[in-house]
Structure 1
Amino acid sequence: MTTAFPLLRLPYLVLMHALKQMEFLDRIAFSILSRRTRKYVKLLKMNSKNVNLKWNGNRIDMIVFCDFTRVLEANMYIDEYQQSFFKNRYKPVYSWRDSSLLPVDYVLSIMDVMDCKFIDKFIIVKISEHDCLPIIAKLPKIDEVVVQHDWPDVPSYEAYFQKERQLRRVLKTVLPLSPAVFITYQFQNRNHLREILNGHFDAVILMRSGNWITLNDLWITNAKTLEIHTKKINMEDLNRYFKLWTKNICNDRLEYLEVVLGLTGLLLNLI
């Protein structure tokens, strides 16, 4: 039987030299063990450029970039097993199973080690069956929230609406943390879309979301930058909105508007 090496009992300078010799993924694995190990690894100043989170059903994927290179990928499950897997392109997978920690605890720990102050993108692909609000309630500032749609296993409209109610709860938690939202999802309840359009965002982008955009939808928008890519908009409504905006009757915050009608259709820019 081998005896564990007492790494943390080494003198400070020797310990820091040993950490510098570690591979990147080994440092991350070491930092997750405790607050003390995280403190030492943080002193190595491994700064990151971007951190993306993807919510995909019962799994949260975290991707860390340094100089536009993917250096770490973590797949964290929020089911009854609470397993987490950490890997990069060149190293084998590290696996944890600790039901006392939520995935967000790993996310925040890694962000702290990488000296990353915000999440670049929080992408919602599929809503979890489990209660996710305790997880996302701890998230830091988010640069952009992306709402996608990938729910092929929903058996009925009632189940679909239930999923959307869960999505709305998630959005009400994460959207106040972000100045921008990017939507490709088609809301079944139009009021849920209008809550976003009426939000105090710097940028709202609707990219083939599938929802009809009416004059009432445009009227309540409150974003500085509004981009709409759709085939489902009435030109009369759009013209009326232009007239109202030029008269300062609606959305006095608007600085940039782009409307793309169809994939190769009309492109309108208003700056």
Structure 2
Amino acid sequence: MPIRILSLPVADLQYALNCMDTWDLVAFSLCSKRTKNLVKFTVRKIKKIEANVYDCRICLTVQAFQTIQNFVFIGIHDSCITLDFGKGTELWRKQGFTQRNWIPHFLDIFHESKIHSLVIMNVRLWDMDTVKQCIPKCQTLRIRENCYIKFENIEFLQLCSIAENAEIEKNIFTNENHISKFLNLNLRSVHLSDWDNPFKLELNDLLTANSINITIQTANIRENELNRYLKLWMKGNNIFNRPSYMKLSLIHEIDRDEVLRGIKYQIVDNECSLNRADGKKLSISIQRNSVDFEFQ
């Protein structure tokens, strides 16, 4: 005999919700505003949500606690989602929902403020607004090396604005879409990687860098530019400096003496230590094809 679950006493209702699989809870949350609030009250957590974008299609990989199926793959369409539990698929609809409603709903019921990662495989420029509407915030933005898109400056910077960290596996920068505008973004970390098409860097790119941790593989910058950068840092100009760590892997062998020419430094634990008049310190490790900066 069917049981009206919402008519159960509070303690029994809470027990029933706690016994539900995560995806039964998600389905229950879609029934009404009341069921959504009840699910939120259970404070069920998930491990991570990853979104992959192929052209205009957004696919989620959700890893959850307390669920029979560890990973669930979700395809988001305009008014419905398809869920792949590994042994078959299900089609879910929610009246009044559009493509932009699904991810905010998941984040809300799981008490998450952002998805864990947004992976751009391919996306058309005119679909960029759709991506931003569906995914208001992410911890990490990843652009894969096989992504064929050529980003225009404004669209790319808008996409980066929803992320805290960025990992880009392809040199997408041009003279018009210059790398300096990307390095100037207020991000927690930046990782650029392209061994076949190195990232061209100039002095001004380093001076205006605004991310906390920066790693670039590989970078095309000469020793004299690095030397000027260090000399300007020693002068303590106001343009310096948000990064706390920066690592550059270079396309050529580096001449350590040229990088440090005319600069007063000390050797501490096999690293070069620079001390500025205002008390700031910079440790530099120079290897055959790389240079590491650690700001203190």
Q: Same fold (TM over 0.5)?
A: yes
Paired residue total: 254
Cα distance change, pair 40–170 in 1 and its aligned pair in 2 (3 A): farther
Alignment partners' CA distance in 2, 1:60 and 1:87: 14
Alignment partners' CA distance in 2, 1:17 and 1:120: 30
Cα distance change, pair 189–52 in 1 and its aligned pair in 2 (3 A): same
- Larger radius of gyration between Structure 1 and Structure 2: 2
1:1-271 matches, cutoff 5 A: 6-66=4-64, 71-78=70-77, 83-89=80-86, 92-97=88-93, 100-128=96-124, 131-137=127-133, 139-152=135-148, 161=150, 164-165=151-152, 168-169=154-155, 171-172=157-158, 174-192=159-177, 193-208=179-194, 210=197, 211-230=199-218, 232-249=220-237, 250-261=239-250, 266-271=289-294
The one-letter code matched in structure 2 to 1:45 is V
Alignment partners' CA distance in 1, 2:141 and 2:200: 21
Q: Deviations over 1:86-143 (max 9, x none)?
A: 2445x64322356942334211111222222222222222114763415523644432
Shift of the alpha carbon at 1:258? Answer: 0.9
Alignment partners' CA distance in 2, 1:129 and 1:259: 30
Alignment partners' CA distance in 2, 1:226 and 1:138: 28
* Alpha-carbon contact 1:32-1:106 (below 8 Å) kept: no
Cα distance change, pair 99–38 in 1 and its aligned pair in 2 (3 A): closer
Q: Gaps spanning 5+ residues in structure 1: where?
A: 153-159
* Alpha-carbon contact 2:209-2:242 (below 8 Å) kept: no
Which of the two has greater helix per residue? 1
* Alpha-carbon contact 2:132-2:162 (below 8 Å) kept: no
The one-letter code matched in structure 2 to 1:86 is L
Shift of the alpha carbon at 1:191? Answer: 4.1
Alignment partners' CA distance in 1, 2:229 and 2:13: 64
Alignment partners' CA distance in 2, 1:99 and 1:20: 26
Cα distance change, pair 194–37 in 1 and its aligned pair in 2 (3 A): same
Bigger relative contact order (CA 8 A; separation at least 6): 1
Shift of the alpha carbon at 1:231? Answer: 5.1
**Cα RMSD (Å):** 3.5
User: Secondary structure of the residue that 2:49 maps to in structure 1?
Assistant: strand
The one-letter code matched in structure 2 to 1:228 is I
Q: Deviations over 1:171-218 (max 9, x none)?
A: 41x433433222223225344332211222232221227332233432
